[in-house]
Chains A and B, each alone.
Chain A
Amino acid sequence: MKLPTNLHSLTAPLVALGLVVAAVLPGVGSTIKKADTASEGKCGEVSIAVNNWVGYEADAFVVGEVAAKRLGCIVNYVYVDEQISWQGFASGQVDAVLENWGHPELIDLYVKKLKVAQDAGSIGITGQIGWYVPPWMKKKYPDITNWKSLNKYSKLFKTSESGGKGQLLDGDPGFVTNDEALVTNLKLNYKVVFAGSEAALIQAFRSGEERKKPVLGYFYSPQWFLAEVPLVKVSLPKYKTGCDAKPAKVNCDYPDYPLHKIVSNQFADSNSTGYRLIRNFTWSDKDQNLVAKYITADGMSPEKASDKWIKANPDKVDAWLR
């Protein structure tokens, strides 16, 4: 056998060998603290979908922090839009959606047809969707909160984007909305323009109130911002069961949404401590708004905001762990 004549050809294999040795060598006086492996068997991994409004973020991180710190779960936060989260039930990347707003079409597909997910109970909050104006407008135009007078005021809401009509500002294209159909079916002289996100809606309403600029927009409660600027809701024709059955024919107000949790069947079947925590999780809109305010107005990270709330509410947390 011929020996390599220069070191050069030996470099790569020697380096690789060295790295492998370094990787398998046991450590003496190791300082890395390992987690308690005993808790792993009980919880394991929990993947929580995080949808893009801050109230949801509050749900997700409070549950996530309790799961991680009290139950020793490995928590994955999956940042995706609400409808896309459901696809995660099918492919196994999402275990739980913590705040579902209606979505009968998704329940049809993923719960009834595909049989990959199931209801996991209420979170104790009822959600409402509607059209809102900043408070100064209600004072100046008292009848503006009735949908029938909206056409009278449509000129006020004209913008560069509304093509000569009034502008109705919507949020993220992924949010639950019937607004396009409502404008058509109620014969309103308005055009729906998408602001793109919850934060953009808040910004529009905030500057609308500060500078007395007319804004008509899609909004919802619970929402921490309503405490900062008490937006006034416009009343739409009363909701009756079935009036929103066909998306293109909707001509009535949004229903009340009892917000509830959805989990994947696989996760429910595991009956892990993480699943039981999510099953038991319920709080109030005040709690949610408080955490949401910590995150947005006070600029705290969602983890820190949740920890602060968890520390202040031990009895509520203990009740979820029972």
Chain B
Amino acid sequence: MTTLTREPATQKEPVEAASTPARSGPRVPRGAMVAGVLAVWVVLSIVFQGKATLAIGGADQIGVQNWLGDRANDLAVAGDNFFISITSGIADVLDAVIQWFQLLISTPAFPSPYPHIGFLGVLAVAWLFTAWVAGWRMSVLTAVCFALFALLGFYESSMDLLIVTLVSVGLSIAIGLPLAIWMAHSGRARAVLTPILDVMQTLPSFAYLLPLMLLFGIGAPAAVICTLIYSLPPLMRIASHGLRNLSATAMEATDSMGQTPWQRLVKVELPMAKRTIIVGINQTTMAALSMATIAAFINGPGLGQPVVRALNALRVGDAFVPGLCIVLMAIMLDRVTTAASEHGEKLQRGQARDMAARRSALLMGGAAVAVVCVYLSRHYTFAAKPWQSSMGDKLSSGVQTVIDWISTNWAGTTASIANGFTSAVINKLQYVLAGSPWYITGLAILAIALIVGGWRAGVATVICLAGLRWLELWNNAMITLTATLVAAVVVMVLAAVFGVWMGRSRQADRVIRPLLDAGQTLPPFVYLIPVLALFGPTRFTAIVAAVAYAAPAAIKIVADGIKAVSSATVEAAESAGALTIQIITKVQIPMARSAFTVATNQGLLYVLAMVVIGGLVGAGALGYDVVAGFKQLDTRGRGLAAGFSIVLLGVMLDRITTYAARRGEARSS
């Protein structure tokens, strides 16, 4: 799922002096300079190993963390101040809205054992609604998905998740669209809001679960707010980008007719940007769904709950089926919103009159069916009760059997692989990064940032490192950085291999892409369980989970980049007699260079997004601090500090890779 949906870089900022060829004298290549820094760093880490690493005890809370903890505790005891009364008012309203929807379609409306509209009625209305907004083909998809939610045994949880998701998306549109319009028209708004959106997307959701819980209580309202925080940014970014890049001639033409700014917005800009806005809504919906499992930690209703419960019991079969329902829901919402935007345009483009009439007649027929179904589902058990089958149970026990077999037969081998990799790679890197005195590590990171990214990257790095030092979790931040870098390298290797393969072969693309799509929507908790069974609670497990989460996005970006290399260039190289391997390494990869840098940037940020989930399965360090801060009263402050530390790491890695990419592009052009 989207971690940071960046708007495409439209205006390139001026490239720094470093790449201007005017400089005289022989220049040391950057690769050699980085290698030099690394060599010095390794030597110093051996000399000063274990000194001034700023490691603190596992349950200690020091300095600024205590201050943060006290603020959180103030929130907990502030019973009746003004701010709390506002948030609890909001919580009450949200609670009422969600309960209303739940009684309508998901939970029993006492004294009836079924909701007001039973299964068949909901199915028919969903089918009709999809047919109306997105066409008949999509309506079949919707009906099949709803039927499967019931047949797999998770109808009520599915409806709960649908409600929470739709309410969150509705609020995202109500709040995000006006802000996006403001951002599109005011550079100042953009400058203020963009960093806030960055933080909203990189701050691990576990870090704000705690304050949200104190402000909004546990349950649906807090779940909606937490989903909202994560799902608002994609819509705002994409919509404001769309509004800013409308054809200037259309604006001038309509302006010359003397329209007011309001008319211009409503009659010209919004309709013209409609397509982009719907893409934003689609991304926001996907982001909202990906919060389902996290929201379950504060008792958010929906499919996340059975998934989290299965993690606690380590039953992968039990997690798989609700996980599958989440994937189905994601596919359904994705396809329907996409189709809805195209469908609307098709209708607007003026179909033949009789076609429109036929459509209306069909819809009216469908409506009659839906009305009958709603009526039946309110009064007859056969229509109210969700369809049942043993499909879900069979699937669950099948998956469980396979995983049990693998973990009993392979566990010895997998454990030794994990141990070998840990001591050969992770521990060595951690020895240098976390084992050196903090000022040496800091200076080394800064030097590398300056070499690869120039002075802008250097400034960002200094600010982020200072922040990390101040939050007093330096050692844990470096352990987390180690795991992040290792995972990101593995992700890039996978992206290069599979991305190039998919970019070169249409068939490979057709087979692999759906798997990647499913991988991106499946909640990480589902594959966390088998990985945990195979590798135990270790940093290795967390890295495997992070790779599984980040690789699909990186592979897709590389595949698209390779595909975009002009076929004429490739053919020219072929006719010159180049071997396949030469074409790949000398033509396609260099020409898709920018795709690789984007993939690296996104890969790093996706990996970082999994740090907290890794904390649940033995990765320790910042991820664990965040989880423990959420679960234990005494370490709340430390948990908050860890959350902010993850943001700082994310911003630092993002800026270094972004500026490095810009310099690379400037040089090659």
Contacts and interface: CB of A to CB of B under 8 A. Distances in A.
Interface of A: 6-8, 10-12, 14-15, 18-19, 21-23, 25, 27-37, 40, 52, 54, 74, 78-81, 83-84, 87-88, 90-94, 105-106, 109, 113-114, 159-161, 169, 172-174, 180-181, 184, 192-200, 203-204, 207, 247-248, 296
A106 B128 contact: no
B423 interface: yes
Nearest to A74: B110
A10 B305 CA distance: 42
Contact of A203 (B58, B305, B314, B372): B314
A195 B634 CA distance: 20
A200 B371 contact: no
Interface stretch (B185-193, B534-542, B563-571): B534-542
B298 interface: yes
Contacts of A196: 532, 537, 616-618
Nearest to A33: B113
B37 interface: no
22 contacts: A8-B356, A12-B132, A14-B364, A18-B371, A22-B375, A23-B116, A30-B379, A30-B380, A31-B381, A31-B382, A33-B381, A34-B111, A35-B112, A40-B111, A83-B632, A87-B213, A87-B218, A106-B633, A160-B423, A161-B537, A161-B620, A200-B532
Contacts of A93: 217-219, 299
B368 interface: yes
Interface stretch (B166-174, B623-631, B640-648): B623-631
Interface string B389-418: 000000000000000000000010000001
B218 A248 contact: no
B44 interface: no
B218 A180 contact: no
A87 B111 contact: no
Interface in B277-324: 296-299, 305, 308-309, 311-315
A114 B74 CA distance: 12
Contacts of B353: 6
A32 B297 contact: no
Nearest to A199: B314
Nearest to B104: A23
A238 B309 CA distance: 36
Contact of B112 (A6, A34, A247, A248): A34
Given A11-B360, A19-B125, A90 B314 contact: no
Interface in B346-403: 353, 356-357, 359-361, 363-364, 367-368, 370-372, 374-375, 378-382, 384
B218 A160 contact: no
A184 B57 contact: yes
B110 A35 contact: yes
How many chain B residues sit at the interface, stated as a range, is 35 or more
B634 A105 contact: yes
A32 B110 CA distance: 12
B538 A174 contact: no
A173 B632 contact: yes
A83 B633 CA distance: 7
Contact of B357 (A6, A88, A194, A296): A6
B341 interface: no
B631 A172 contact: yes
What 4 pairs across the A-B complex have the smallest Cβ distances? A91-B217, A27-B379, A174-B631, A180-B58
A10 B363 CA distance: 11
A78 B299 CA distance: 6
A109 B74 CA distance: 11
Contacts of A37: 111
Contacts of A161: 422, 537-539, 618, 620
A84 B631 contact: yes
Contacts of B538: 159-161
A267 B659 CA distance: 58
A19, A27, A160 pick with most chain B CB within 10 angstroms: A160
A88 B378 contact: no
A19 B370 contact: yes
A207 B415 CA distance: 13
A105 B636 CA distance: 13
B549 interface: no
A157 to B, nearest CB: 14
Given A113-B77, A207-B411, A200 B314 contact: yes
Contact of B380 (A10, A32, A34, A105): A32
B357 A8 contact: yes
Given A161-B538, A161-B618, A92 B217 contact: yes
B113 A32 contact: yes
Nearest to B308: A79
Nearest to B128: A15
A199 B312 CA distance: 6
A68 B144 CA distance: 34
A196 to B, nearest CB: 5
A173 B628 CA distance: 5
Interface in B26-68: 57-60
Contact of A195 (B57, B217, B618): B618
B77 A180 contact: no
Nearest to B114: A32
B57 A52 contact: no
A7 B356 CA distance: 9
A36 B381 CA distance: 17
B400 to A, nearest CB: 9
B492 to A, nearest CB: 24
A79 B634 contact: no
A232 B73 CA distance: 39
B61 to A, nearest CB: 9
Nearest to A85: B218
Contacts of A54: 313
Nearest to A198: B312
A174 B627 CA distance: 8
B110 A81 contact: no
Given A87-B218, A173-B627, A173-B632, A199 B533 contact: no
Given A91-B218, A109-B76, 9 more contacts: A19-B370, A35-B112, A79-B309, A83-B633, A94-B218, A173-B632, A193-B618, A197-B314, A203-B314
Nearest to B304: A79
B379 A114 contact: no
A200 B370 CA distance: 48
A27 B537 CA distance: 56
B558 interface: no
Nearest to A12: B132
B91 interface: yes
A50 to B, nearest CB: 9
Interface in B543-600: none
Contact of B60 (A15, A200, A248): A248
Contacts of B121: 22
Given A19-B370, A79-B299, A87-B213, A7 B360 contact: yes
B375 A194 contact: no
A271 B305 CA distance: 30
Contacts of B25: none
A32 B537 contact: no
B419 interface: yes
B214 interface: yes
B356 A6 contact: yes
Contact of A15 (B363, B381, B628): B363
A10, A109, A159, A184 pick with most chain B CB within 10 angstroms: A159
